[in-house]
Amino acid sequence: MENQNLPEGFEWCRKAKYDVQAELACYQITETQPVMEGFEEKTFNINGVETKYAVKSGFNVLEQNHWTTSPDRPFVLTGTVGERWPVKPSNMTAYDVDSSTIGVNPTTISTKDPSEQEFLVAYHIPIGQSLEVVPSWAFSSDGTIDETQFMVANSESSMVPHDTGDYVVAKHIEGQPEYMQLPEEQRRTKEVAKLYSPRIINGSIMKTTYDHALTQEEIKEKYSSKTM
């Protein structure tokens, strides 16, 4: 249902039109495809078989967390202010690109037409306040949880600007509380992480990566008038 009322403090949001750099940063090691420079070898259990992959690791300056690519998150995106993070092939559907064409060399890709993007909800976390966000990738296939992958909105790092504060963005599930309203113990479950797909958007890049407003119609009108 469009333009339904959201709880106080929540806004509708939708991914804007912008460019990022994308690269394939995880591939299976073979005799003809050895470990290339910038990659390291790591073994994964794939369907019960120990399989060697070449992976990359890095640090996301906006979310202040370390990451390593994996067979289920093989692509790395470099955003509008140099932030880097790994994504699944399914996450690439937000971009106007066939993920199978992305190779190990960085290439520029763009988000799809905003009208094709789903509406999400956003909640502003002012500087001085915080909210822990548990992403789906913090959970491994065997159900174990990696707390180092948790993210905190407004960790107030002196190294990273947050503008007026971060935004927590998540899917809106009709008839259910918004992700940010759930108790901490529920936010720490794999089911909730997968259902809501929560993420943190640094306040300094929220305006360039998302459009947000109290109603969906406001966002649609902004795009139709080509004003960002």
Which tens digit of pLDDT belongs to each residue from 140-187?
877 788 888 888 888 776 677 888 999 999 999 999 999 999 999 999
Kindly report the number of other CB atoms within 10 A of residue 52's CB atom: 13
Contact 138, 193 (CB under 8 A): yes
Q: Is residue 26 predicted with pLDDT exceeding 50?
A: yes
Please state, in angstroms and rounded to a whole number, the distance separating the CA atoms of residues 218 and 228. Answer: 12
Question: Which amino acid appears at position 89 of this protein?
Answer: P
Q: Residue 145's pLDDT is what? A: 86
* Alpha helices for 8-162 (secondary structure H): none
* Local structure of residue 211 (DSSP, 8 states): E
Which tens digit of pLDDT belongs to each residue from 39-52?
999 999 999 999 99
Which tens digit of pLDDT belongs to each residue from 173-225?
999 999 999 999 999 999 999 999 999 999 988 988 999 999 999 998 876 65
For residue 26, give the H/E element and its range. strand 26-28
Share of the chain above pLDDT 70, in %: 94
Which tens digit of pLDDT belongs to each residue from 128-140?
899 999 988 788 8
Q: Residue 142's pLDDT is what? A: 74
Q: Residue 1's pLDDT is what? A: 44
pLDDT, the chain, mean: 90
pLDDT tier at 227, thresholds 50, 70, 90: very low
Between strands 75-78 and 84-87, the pairing is antiparallel
